[in-house]
Each structure stands twice: as structure tokens, then as C-alpha cells.
Amino acid sequence: MRATTHHNAGIARKRPPVRIGLNKAWSKGAVTRLRHRSDVSSRSAASRLRASEQSARVGGEVKLARITQAMSRQQVADRAGVSWSTQVRVELGDPKLAIATICAVTEAVGLDLVLRTYPGRQPSLRDTGQLALAELLVSQAHDAWHAQLEVSVGQHGESIDIGFFGPEEIVATELERMASDFQAQYRRADEKRQRLAGQHRRPVRLVIVIEDTPRNRTALEPHLAVIRRTLPAGSREILKSIRGGEPLGRDGLLWLRRRRAPEAR
């Protein structure tokens, strides 16, 4: 059998409009995912730019050292055990080169390449899962405190998790979900507190908030004597100050337990 088609001359048939219905939950989730991708893309672009800047700086120093010592590019390449083109890429600041290659070239011109990290822009409270703790603490603050999340304190994006700004003093609050190396965590928090103090005339108190879990309690147990000397104010004293709007007067450590979500009935 042959399929037959019928054509009505002179009659233009319009297709019914296609309607696409979006589920609200799906739409909200899609928007969230798009925003996340946008944030990741922005961070990736910033990281590539930073890598290019650092590579260019090292390349400039290599070139200056080579010229100062009247060495040719081929001489440097031979001493480093790399090709001439690779040596050129180092001087041009190619961020895709391996660290071992850059170290070989810098050593060939009498430079010692040392890599180390410095405090920079930390993940947001939302990214680290600390936002729930921050919101719990801020929700209890008296009106006398002006609470501000992620207070910038450095040129490289460093920030205090929560700043409670009162008329007489400021309480710099750092949130820690996991107590690992407490001394390192304290030093990092204290450095940021000092930077914040340099921006204000009021005293700046430091409060380190530890999520109250059995694991964290066990981890800090051996250091409690040192902690009490360094951070003398306890949880009750800190919460009384925040809830009552009164100055804290000294540094402290606050154990804070996240609220449990209500069970579905």
C-alpha cells in the first residue's frame, strides 16, 4: 500500500503553539545550578589570571638574572636540561609549565624558587556549610550589636566570619566546624582580628566558635588548659553578652550546636 497525502490548495494551516510548563521546583534548582556554574567560572578565570601573573613575575626575574650574567638562552637551557623553546616559555611566563621545569631553569641562572601559600580569599560560609551556625548565632544577637557576615580584613580577600559591632567594642567571630590543628586555627583567627583592630579604634575581642560535636570535644580535650588561658570567656559568658548587648571584655571560645530540622509528621 502507498501512503497518500491530501493537500488543500490555498489553505495555510497554522501549527498550534507549543507551551512549555516549568515546574517551579525544577526552575529554582536550575537557576541555582546556573549561578553555581557562573561562580565556578568566575573563580576559575581569577585563578588563571593569578597563575599568569605569578608565572610572568618569575619569568621576568629569570630573564633579568640571565641578562645580568651575560648568559644566552641556549646556555641556560643546557644547564637546566631543557630545550631552548622551554627556556623561552619560562621567561615569557607560561603558567602551564611544570614546577620542576621552572625550578630547573631558575637554578640554572642562580635563583632559588620557593613556593609558599599566604592567607587569601576563603570559601564563603555557604560553601563551607557554616552558614547555619552563623545564622543561629546572629539570630540571638541583641539590637545593640550590628552583625555583619564575612567582614573583609585583608588585601587578598581575607575575612572575619562574623563581626558583631557594638558601641564600645567589636567581637570578631570565627566559625570552625572541625577542630583539627587548634593552634594554627587560633593563629589564623588572631591575625585577622589584629587586622580588623587596625581599622577601628574600639577594642576587638576574638571569639572562636566550635561546632559542638563529640569528635570536636575529644580533639580539644588535651588542649583545654591552654585554651582557657588564651580564650578565657566560656560559652555562657559569650552568649550572655551577645543576647544582652553588653560588652564581652575578653576573648573566648563558644561551643555551638546546630539546631535539628523538625521531623516531618
- Find where cell 501549527 sits: 15
Q: What is the pLDDT of residues 185-228, one digit of tens each?
A: 899 899 999 999 999 989 999 999 999 999 999 999 988 888 99
In a domain, 57, yes or no: yes
**Does the pLDDT value for residue 259 go beyond 50?**
yes
Three-state helix/strand/coil letters over 14-25: CCCCCCCCCCHH
Q: So what's the pLDDT on residue 97?
A: 92
3-state DSSP assignment of residue 97 = coil
Of the listed ranges 123-132, 238-247, 249-258, the least confidently predicted one is 123-132
In a domain, 263, yes or no: no
Query: Do 198 and 235 share a domain, yes or no?
Result: yes
Query: Do 137 and 168 share a domain, yes or no?
Result: yes
Query: Do 140 and 240 share a domain, yes or no?
Result: yes
Q: Is residue 204 a contact partner of residue 169, using CB atoms and an 8 Å limit?
A: yes
In a domain, 126, yes or no: no
Of 9 and 68, the structure prediction assigns the larger pLDDT to 68
In a domain, 198, yes or no: yes
Q: Is residue 158 a contact partner of residue 143, using CB atoms and an 8 Å limit?
A: no
Query: Do 45 and 87 share a domain, yes or no?
Result: yes
Query: Do 135 and 232 share a domain, yes or no?
Result: yes
pLDDT average, residue stretch 129-139:
86
- Chain-centre distance for alpha carbon 46: 13
Q: What is the pLDDT of residues 142-171, one digit of tens each?
A: 999 999 998 888 777 788 999 999 999 999
Q: So what's the pLDDT on residue 181?
A: 84
In a domain, 7, yes or no: no
In a domain, 12, yes or no: no
CATH number assigned to the domain comprising residue 150: 3.40.1350
The radius of gyration computed from the CA coordinates of the chain, to the nearest angstrom, equals 29
Query: Do 142 and 55 share a domain, yes or no?
Result: no
Q: Which residues contact 98 (CB under 8 A, 6 or more apart)?
A: none
DSSP string, 108-160: HTT----------PPPPTTTTT-HHHHHHHHHT--TTSEEEEEEE-STTS-EE
Query: Do 73 and 146 share a domain, yes or no?
Result: no
- Domain holding 66, by residue range, is 24-108
CATH number assigned to the domain comprising residue 88: 1.10.260.40
Query: Do 97 and 157 share a domain, yes or no?
Result: no
Domain count, the chain: 2
Three-state helix/strand/coil letters over 204-247: EEEEEEEECCHHHHHHHHHHHHHHHHHCCECHHHHHHHHHHCCC
Last residue of a domain, one of 59, 75, 108: 108
Query: Do 138 and 249 share a domain, yes or no?
Result: yes
In angstroms, the CA 216 to CA 212 distance is 7
In a domain, 122, yes or no: no
In a domain, 74, yes or no: yes
In angstroms, the CA 181 to CA 189 distance is 12
Q: What is the pTM of this model?
A: 0.60
Give me 202's grid cell. 574600639
Torsion angle in degrees (nearest 10) through CA of 120, 126, 128, 132: 130
Query: Do 57 and 138 share a domain, yes or no?
Result: no
Query: Do 78 and 147 share a domain, yes or no?
Result: no
Query: Do 159 and 200 share a domain, yes or no?
Result: yes
**Is 73 buried (19+), middle (13-18) or exposed (0-12) by CB count in 10 A?**
middle
